[in-house]
Amino acid sequence: MTGAPRFLCLATQTLSDRLPSPSLALTEPDGLLAAGGSLAPAVLREAYQRGIFPWFSEGQPLLWWSPDPRTVIEPASLHVSRSLQRSLRRHSWQITLDRAFGAVIRACAAPRAETAGTWLCEDMVAAYETLHRLGHAHSLECWREGALVGGIYGVRAGAVFCGESMFSRVTDASKVAMLALCRRLNHWGFALLDCQVANPHLMSMGSREVPRQDFLRVLADAALARAVSPQAWQMDPFEGRVE
């Protein structure tokens, strides 16, 4: 039908220089941009730098998305609830950076009670682990009494950190991880934490939805900013504390 929305089916060998513009993404389902292509490091880096990310379930083709609006958090504006403040006082939380990337992403990939499966298939896990080894993907780990109880991982795109997923094994662990990450991003001068799409957990912590074109404008400006070196993630500016 003439004028009907379409999305691009990509070749399996390369996606470089053929990523469609995010402006071509569908409105239903919101943000669906393309199918197929590759999870090679250069492809993933290009995608994140252009506000595009992969997201698909087991049994689906590789799908690429750029939703409108986009959910973001300004690192300095994270909301810390009273209950989270009490949890910070009550428990001894320890934070590390890039010490257990593999454990964090596999915990994020584990099936959860509210979902039947996982979107983090083995190919996705392997792709992000490769990005991590190359210094472009990072993790923050949250520990309590020597046990890994929460964490978050994502991809660095200039001065924007694209959060991909987080997990929690005890109450408040993912919120503590988010708080610790935002404190560090703010310290390093990051413009935004990209949360991709809204959910009640993120909204309760101060995330907001912005038009995609506004997000892409910030992303383009952030790409020109001096990026934090991968080595910085090995030198925790808060020495293992939450804040």
pLDDT band at 120 (very low <50, low <70, confident <90, very high): confident
Question: Of the ranges 5-9, 15-19, 143-147, which is most confident?
Answer: 143-147
Global pTM reads 0.90
* E-only strand ranges, the chain: 8-10, 32-36, 53-54, 63-65, 70-73, 93-97, 137-144, 147-157, 160-168, 192-196, 208-210
Higher pLDDT, 79 or 4: 79
Q: Which 3 state secondary structure label does DSSP give 106?
A: helix
**Residue 10 pLDDT:** 67
The least confident of 88-97, 126-135, 192-201, 231-240 is 231-240
Q: Determine how β-strand 137-144 pairs with β-strand 93-97.
A: antiparallel
- For 232, which DSSP code? G
**Residue 224 pLDDT:** 76
CA dihedral 83, 84, 89, 94 (to 10 degrees): 160
Mean pLDDT of the chain: 88
Q: Is residue 55 within 8 Å of 27, Cβ to Cβ?
A: no
Fold match between 8-67 and 71-234? no
For the domain spanning 71-234, the CATH number is: 3.40.630.70
Residue 46, both tokens: 């290009």
**CA–CA separation, 144 and 38 (whole Å):** 38
Counting other chains too, the contacts that 218-223 makes at CB distance below 8 Å and 24 or more residues apart are 218/160, 218/191, 218/192, 219/49, 219/50, 219/51, 219/157, 219/158, 219/160, 219/192, 219/194, 221/191, 222/157, 222/158, 222/159, 222/160, 222/190, 222/191, 222/192, 223/49, 223/157, 223/158, 223/159
**Residue 127 pLDDT:** 97
The least confident of 24-33, 47-56, 113-122, 169-178 is 113-122
Q: Return the biggest CA–CA distance within the chain.
A: 61
- For 30, which DSSP code? B
**Residue 227 pLDDT:** 60
**Residue 58 pLDDT:** 74
**Residue 13 pLDDT:** 43
**Residue 142 pLDDT:** 97
Average pLDDT of 185-191?
91
Average pLDDT of 120-128?
93
pLDDT band at 239 (very low <50, low <70, confident <90, very high): confident
| pLDDT tens sequence across 10-56 | 654 444 447 899 999 999 999 999 998 899 999 999 999 999 999 98
Mark 14-52 as b/e (b = at least 16 C-beta within 10 Å).
Answer: ebeeebbebeebbeeeebbbbeebbbebebbbbbbbbbb
Domain boundaries, given as residue ranges, for the chain: 8-67, 71-234
- For 50, which DSSP code? T
The least confident of 48-52, 109-113, 183-187, 197-201 is 109-113
What topology does CATH give the domain 8-67?
Answer: Alpha-Beta Plaits (3.30.70)
